[in-house]
Amino acid sequence: MDGVDYLADERSKAQFDVDELKIVWAGSPHAFEVSDRISRLVASDPAFRKDNRPMLGRKELFKNTLRKATYAWKRIIELRLNEEEASKLRFYVDEPAFTDLHWGMFVPAIKGQGTDEQQQKWLPLAYKMQIIGCYAQTELGHGSNVQGLETTATFDPQTDEFIIHSPTLTSSKWWPGGLGKISTHGVVYARLITDGQDHGVHGFIVQLRSLDDHSPLPGITVGDIGMKFGNGAYNTMDNGVLRFDHVRIPRDQMLMRFVGKELVFQVTRDGKVKQSNVPRQLVYGTMVFVRQTIVADASCAISRAVCIATRYSAVRRQFGSQNGGAETQVIDYKTQQNRLFPLLASAYAFRFVGEWLKWLYTDVTQRLQANDFSTLPEAHACTAGLKSLTTSATAAALSSAATFSFGIFSYTCLHHILKDAIEECRKLCGGHGYLCTSGLPELFAVYVPACTYEGDNIVLLLQVARFLMKTVSQLGSGKKPVGTTAYMGRAEHLLQCQCDVQRAEDWLKPSAILEAFEARATRMSVACARNLSKFKNQEEGFLELQADLVEAAVAHCQLIVVSKFIEKLQQDIPGNGVKQVLGVLCNVYALNILHKHLGDFLSTGCITPKQGSLASEQLRSLYSQVRPNAIALVDAFNYTDHYLGSVLGRYDGNVYPKLYEEAWKDPLNDTVVPDGYHEYIRPLLKQQLRTARL
Amino acid sequence: MDGVDYLADERSKAQFDVDELKIVWAGSPHAFEVSDRISRLVASDPAFRKDNRPMLGRKELFKNTLRKATYAWKRIIELRLNEEEASKLRFYVDEPAFTDLHWGMFVPAIKGQGTDEQQQKWLPLAYKMQIIGCYAQTELGHGSNVQGLETTATFDPQTDEFIIHSPTLTSSKWWPGGLGKISTHGVVYARLITDGQDHGVHGFIVQLRSLDDHSPLPGITVGDIGMKFGNGAYNTMDNGVLRFDHVRIPRDQMLMRFVGKELVFQVTRDGKVKQSNVPRQLVYGTMVFVRQTIVADASCAISRAVCIATRYSAVRRQFGSQNGGAETQVIDYKTQQNRLFPLLASAYAFRFVGEWLKWLYTDVTQRLQANDFSTLPEAHACTAGLKSLTTSATAAALSSAATFSFGIFSYTCLHHILKDAIEECRKLCGGHGYLCTSGLPELFAVYVPACTYEGDNIVLLLQVARFLMKTVSQLGSGKKPVGTTAYMGRAEHLLQCQCDVQRAEDWLKPSAILEAFEARATRMSVACARNLSKFKNQEEGFLELQADLVEAAVAHCQLIVVSKFIEKLQQDIPGNGVKQVLGVLCNVYALNILHKHLGDFLSTGCITPKQGSLASEQLRSLYSQVRPNAIALVDAFNYTDHYLGSVLGRYDGNVYPKLYEEAWKDPLNDTVVPDGYHEYIRPLLKQQLRTARL
């Protein structure tokens, strides 16, 4: 029954203007227009079909990705798309490919760390895709600990070259996307050695393959690292392994890392290392762009999963039939709402945090490029606490993490929650969520690596914790905490305040929520600091108390997300009922965290058991307010069925006939009697195993 | 460096007798001997190789599974293996296949529900695999709600036949394993209609395919439902779709469901339905066997994941290098221990619960077969509370769930925790856990469906909650709660007792732990009951308070697992240090739950915030006691490298060289220049897109 909207009833229940919320979600009318136009363009082009991915073998799958990536580039040129449109197009093609790394890491690395000459030489080639680049950092033996990388770049003053070499098996580059079969060049991270001295890890532009016939250059061993989790998922990507056997590159292929107009680090013709005194922690690198992208991807991933689970929960009926009538829609069960609606709220919460991060990065970037270091006291304050990170010359990667430590906080927090959210959505779809046609396995498998590929979350959370401890230790010094830790300036109050919630409705006040979250975060940090002070050796204390420190960091991150959601609601938001429904989601988001982490709030005395149960009561009544708006709230993401890639999440709700139809496309159904019957099954049934060839 | 044990150092640290613990894990010296022998047999036979699965396309993968299943059967015959050995062999082959359903559901269904005549007719054929059967219950539109199944079996008195029919699209059978391409027969669940009257859901033996040429019989449409989550995983299984168009079967192919010697339900020649007055809830069916298997599988799955993560955590080093020495083993970080060791403890906890369940099922089965209903007051008590389940004639499946409600409790609880455990182990392996060669994606994808394929966990937890509410409501009546709810008999005490823990060590006393868990479970149940009583309409209350009810049920289930672990430790356990190390794990298991659910314990006033923080302190010191024993504790599972299927979890710890070696086996590495280069990449690099065929 194509053309019928089986969810029309649900849509008519919405109490707000969906079109206005679409614009809020997109960020602006312009952003909405571009997204809407490009997503339809992709969805309507059969060359971008993606539903057959799970059925393809690795080689076919990969070849198909190459075709799509090249075709996408062709369309970008033909349609003269600008950078924003081109990047949206790649986004909606929705297939991990070498181009992600080329545009997302290789180009930004050169832009962020290259000298003017390097940029003039390499960027035009990269922009036209006359070379294809990757970002070769992670090694078999070292991921999170970038300082521990083993690849060496030894300067040879005789020839004015660096010799790139893989001295051990564990120094093999391992994981970089696009490296395995496609990239012609890479930004390779290696330890700089001059005159026998180790100067830490730096980036180098290295050609990997011949531009004539694509064969690896002499001294280079390169390949794919093999299959990864999931059916299609990241198996469309050639994550690579790479070994160097004394590969020589000219000196000017070391990325010299400019900040503003200042050269931060260079190796001179005679092998001397020169460093400027621009604060190391302000180096602006590739990872900043990357983080920004990852956060955006994260809010997309969760919203896709939530969209699928919400629509299907409205379609699926189970139990509760009375007098032979229809059964109850699964979305009407409180247990379903209790799991689903907080995730729906999270999708919006993360979107708004992402928006704020984007603004933050843009702002900081602009200041940096204007050589305006002095106006960044907040950045200084934060980076100071992350000194351990910046004591080595670990390339822009981690330094930038330090610079944007307020960014990292939320970023880390997101990942902490997100993957579980996708998996929870899959569970909310019951058994059918396990089918590839549901789209959820793919979403899960694609999203999973985000949690590790840019630094393990626990490692990042410990960095956050370290900064919090520093902040606490300076509280008495008159130095005011700023930015996202500003609330700690009121520590004295927060350490002894009493929550004044008396009725369930009191929990709707943003001030009540904020204070409870701030008190909890402060008290957990202060408790950690107190326990730390009992150790003679601070570092020993850090190791021993890691688990508590991580919990304190999580509390801080959750506070940030909640407070950014509340801030968003203080802005002007047009559209009938839009602000109201977002307000409901904000409360759902916060009170659900409060319920999940009740132990924190109670053990620190921030709230009483009675107040905790009032919060749960309020939460239940908020769910009833979300319910009629649920479908419209996910419609506001404005995802095409192509992008969503899920039979369960179809816009029209026509789930069962399409599931049935899709089943018959499996290769196993090519024949009624399966391949293997005559060799294996018939001899079994006919008791003729002795002569069977097995 | 084959032959070197890189974990020898770790093994020498163990403070207990590993060989003795192996026997405890296996259950008995005999069970250990059989497992050990058969697992080695499978591991040493190249025909059972499984490392290539992720690289195979669906058809190849499936065909390969057929080969293995038939070969396994051939070996079983050649080696004259007994039933126990044969089942172990299938277990260690470790590949989901049609045989799982044939032996695990089809045969037990006939054994459990067939009349003597039916058993005599069908079982010999099934035992010899002259027919292959599946269990066709779930439909496109109905999973958890078995009562809602739509397939009909209408009795035709004219011909003495049933007419099996699929009246709607959603009535299509959907999911049954082995159904898609292989099964020749199925136990099909359908609504029995006689004389226009609906008698609820019953099981029927239906032939699906010709035994001559394997083509589907007239009126039958059957096929595979398509790809599922994961690379190899369950894609080796032909989960099927099946539609009936008025298919006729003789009356004697309805399973008549005997209990003991009594006929429970039958349709006579003239279409009359006869029911005996044997209590419906005591019907003993297929699901009992199945549940038992699933619980066993669950403890295997988690122990495999934990084994991989533990060994790799000892191999992997990251950060913490001092003076150029080796970096710190990841397993030495408190954050890693905090996540890993509770999972290790869970593996043992679930094993012991599984053991208890197995005993329980055996015991109850024997009593039932001896027509000994009267000696089952506990079963009666439990089943009474699950009346809603048994009010329809929903076949043995759910009735058996009711009978063994004490079983279902733990069973449900297991699943609630398990899948997250596997995923957590994957995260604990960092980025490399995302590679198929780590074995963890496969383990995850294979295990995931266990959480839904036998009834959604939330649905089961709500059944548990319903029973708890019933128990609470009868507390005043003088009726003593028994079995796993016996503790509620002391409700008066548990509702007002105060935990007397004053020092961290006090948390080592089993009595302190048990009382805290019992008090928490009781208070949560009683609070739910109190809130329920505020509703005029009980059922409305149930719907509104679902989320709280589920939490109360979880608290009850966790108590059961903890108490069974404690009971195990009260038995005689031989072997140097074995009992001690298990005692440490038991405390880790309990105190970790206490920490994770601190909100429950605090808000119900079972413990004070101070006592909560003493528990965390004690937990940290327990981790130090687990640490030296960690590798030996996973060695005790006695898994071969073949069964484990993980490069990261290799017994010898030789991880990196093997990861590197495995990478080159990916099909993408067959050629240096990838397929697709000439068509897609070269035109891109050479700016010749206009003429490219894309």
Quickly tell me which residue has 């449900």 as its tokens.
B412
Q: Which amino acid is residue B490, in one-letter code?
A: R
Put simply, the answer to whether B231 touches A227 (Cβ < 8 Å) is: yes
Mean pLDDT to the nearest integer, B65-88: 96
Cross-chain Cβ contact B547/A334 below 8 Å: yes
**SS3 labels along A23-90:** HHHHCCHHHHHHHHHHHHHHHCCHHHCCCCHHHCCHHHHHHHHHHHHHHHHHHHHHCCCCHHHHHHHH
Query: What is the distance of C-alpha A310 from the center of its chain?
Result: 22
d(CA B126, CA B131): 5
Residues of chain B neighbouring A227 (CB-CB closer than 8 A): 54-55, 231, 435-437, 666
Asked if residue A467 lies in contact with residue A402, where contact means CB atoms within 8 angstroms, the answer is: no
Domain ranges of chain A: 102-278
The pLDDT value recorded for residue A48 is 97
Specify whether the backbone of A677 is left (phi greater than 0), alpha (psi in -120 to 50) or beta: alpha
Decide if B130 touches A, using CB distance below 8 A.
yes
Interface test with A, best of B75, B76, B125, B231 (most A CBs within 10 A): B231
Q: Is B509 helix (H, G, I), strand (E, B) or coil?
A: coil
- B547, A338 Cβ separation under 8 angstroms: yes
Query: Which of B132, B546, B603 comes nearest A609 by C-beta?
Result: B603
More confident residue, B692 or A16: A16
CA distance B102 to B73: 13
* Cα separation, B14 vs A570, whole angstroms: 59
Residues B433/B426, Cβ–Cβ less than 8 Å: yes
Contacting residues of B for A73, CB less than 8 Å apart = 684, 689
**What span, in angstroms and rounded, lies between the C-alpha atoms of B618 and A443?**
40
pLDDT of amino acid B288: 52
| Residue A67 forms contact with B (CB below 8 Å) | yes
Closest chain B residue to A593, measured at CA: B599
Helical axes B546-570 vs B334-369, angle rounded to 10°: 90
Per-residue confidence (pLDDT) for residue A107, from 0 to 100: 93
Mean pLDDT score of chain B, rounded to an integer? 87
Q: Of all residues in chain B, what percent are helix, strand and coil, respectively (each to 5)? A: 60, 10, 30
Best A437, A662, A668 member to test B by mutation, with max B CBs in 10 Å, is: A668
pLDDT digits (tens, 9 = 90+) for B406-465: 344 444 445 555 657 777 888 788 888 889 999 988 888 887 665 544 445 677 778 788
Contacts of B434 (CB under 8 A, 6+ apart): A228, A229, A234, A448, A449, A452, B426, B441
Burial class (CB in 10 A: 0-12, 13-18, 19+), A57: middle
Longest dimension (CA), chain A: 91
- Cβ of A62 within 8 Å of Cβ of B616? The answer is no
Task: Give the span between the Cα atoms of B624 and B341, in whole angstroms.
Answer: 10
3-state DSSP assignment of residue B199: strand
A377 near B CB under 8 A: no
Which residues in chain B are contacts of A127 at CB distance < 8 A? Answer: none
A692 to chain B, any CB pair closer than 8 A? The answer is: yes
CB B273 within 8 A of CB B162: no
Residues with Cβ < 8 Å from B626, sequence gap 6 or more? B337, B341, B344, B345, B584, B585, B588, B633
A436 inside 8 A of chain B by CB: yes
- Does residue B24 surpass a pLDDT of 90? yes
Q: B250 forms bridges with which residues in the sheet?
A: B161
Neighbours of B538 (CB within 10 A): 11
Secondary structure of residue B603 in the 3-state scheme: helix
DSSP B326: P
Which tokens go with A390?
């910046």
CA distance B239 to B174: 7
Min Cα–Cα distance to chain B from A10, Å = 20
Candidates B62, B63, B681; nearest CB to A66: B681
- Percentage of chain B lying above the pLDDT 70 cut: 86
Nearest CA of chain A to the CA of B551: how many Å? 10
Q: Does A550 touch chain B (CB under 8 A)?
A: yes
Q: Which residues contact A609 (CB under 8 A, 6 or more apart)?
A: A602, B602, B603, B604, B605
**Residues facing A249 on adjacent strands:** A162
Question: Helices B18-26 and B29-43, interaxial angle, to 10°?
Answer: 90
| Minimum mean pLDDT range among A391-400, B106-115, B547-556, B621-630 | A391-400
pLDDT, averaged per 10 consecutive residues of chain A (694 residues), comes to 87 98 97 98 97 90 97 96 96 95 91 88 97 95 85 97 97 96 97 93 95 97 94 92 98 77 76 72 48 68 93 92 86 93 93 82 69 46 27 24 37 53 80 89 77 58 85 86 88 96 98 98 97 93 92 90 95 97 98 96 97 96 98 98 97 97 95 96 93 82
Q: Which residues pair with A262 in a beta bridge?
A: A259
A102-278: what CATH class? mainly beta
Residues in chain A closer than 8 A to B436 (CB atoms): 226-229
**B62 contacts chain A (CB < 8 A):** yes
Chain A 649-678, CB below 8 Å of chain B: which residues? Answer: 656-657, 659-660, 662-670, 672-677
pLDDT digits (tens, 9 = 90+) for B526-543: 999 999 999 999 889 999
User: Between chains, do B620 and A547 touch, taking CB under 8 Å as contact?
Assistant: yes
Which residue from B562, B552, B507, B554 is spatially nearest to B529, judged by alpha carbons?
A: B552
A673 chain-B contacts, CB cut-off 8 A? 181, 213-215
Contact A603 B598 (CB under 8 A): yes
A362 labelled as ligand-binding? no
Dihedral angle sign, alpha carbons of residues A284, A290, A295, A300: positive
Contacts of A565 (CB under 8 A, 6+ apart): A348, A349, A352, A353, A586, A589, A590
Residue A3 contacts B where some CB pair is shorter than 8 Å:
no
Mean pLDDT on B489-501: 96
* B 414-433: CB under 8 A from A: 423, 427, 430-431, 433
Q: Do B431 and A423 make contact, defined as CB atoms within 8 angstroms?
A: no
Please give the single-letter amino acid code of residue A612.
G
φ and ψ of A197, to 5 deg: -105, 140
Confirm or reject contact between A613 and chain B (CB < 8 A).
yes
Give the catalytic positions of B in this structure: 454
Closest CA to A380 of A469, A475, A261, A483: A483
Mark which residues 467-526 of B lie under 8 Å from A by CB: none
What size, in residues, is chain B? Answer: 694
Q: Which of left, alpha, beta for A456 (phi over 0: left; psi -120 to 50: alpha)?
A: beta
Measuring CA to CA, how many Å separate A10 from each of A6, A101, A530, B225, B431?
Answer: 9, 41, 53, 29, 42
- A454: annotated active-site residue: yes
- Calpha distance A133→A185 (Å, rounded): 5
Chain A residue with minimum CA distance to B531: A617
A 10 A CB-CB count for B253 gives 22
Rounded CA Rg of chain A: 27
How many Å apart are CA B682 and CA A128, to the nearest integer?
Answer: 13
CB contacts of A128 in chain B (<8 Å) are: 687
To which H or E segment does residue A495 belong? helix A491-496
Secondary element (H or E) of residue A457: helix A457-473
Amino acid residing at B577: G
On whether the CB atoms of residues B228 and B215 are closer than 8 A, the answer is no
Annotated catalytic residue within A139, A454, A518, A551:
A454
Q: How is A148-175 classified by DSSP, letter by letter?
A: G---EEEEETTTTEEEEE--SSTTSEE-
- Max CA distance (Å), chain B: 91
pLDDT at A14: 98
In which band, very low, low, confident or very high, does the pLDDT at B114 lie, cut at 50, 70 and 90?
confident
Q: How far apart are CA A338 and CA A617, in angstroms?
A: 12
CB pairs under 8 A between A and B: 379
Q: Looking at residue B355, what is its pLDDT?
A: 86
Q: Does A224 touch chain B (CB under 8 A)?
A: yes
**Shortest CA gap A513–chain B (Å):** 18
Question: How near does any CA of chain A get to the CA of B230, in Å?
Answer: 5
Q: Is A138 annotated as a binding residue?
A: yes
Q: What confidence score (pLDDT) does residue B277 get?
A: 62
Are B145 and A327 within 8 A, CB to CB?
A: yes
In this structure, the strands spanning B185-194 and B152-156 are parallel
Q: How far is CA A304 from CA A334, B263, B372, in A?
A: 22, 52, 55
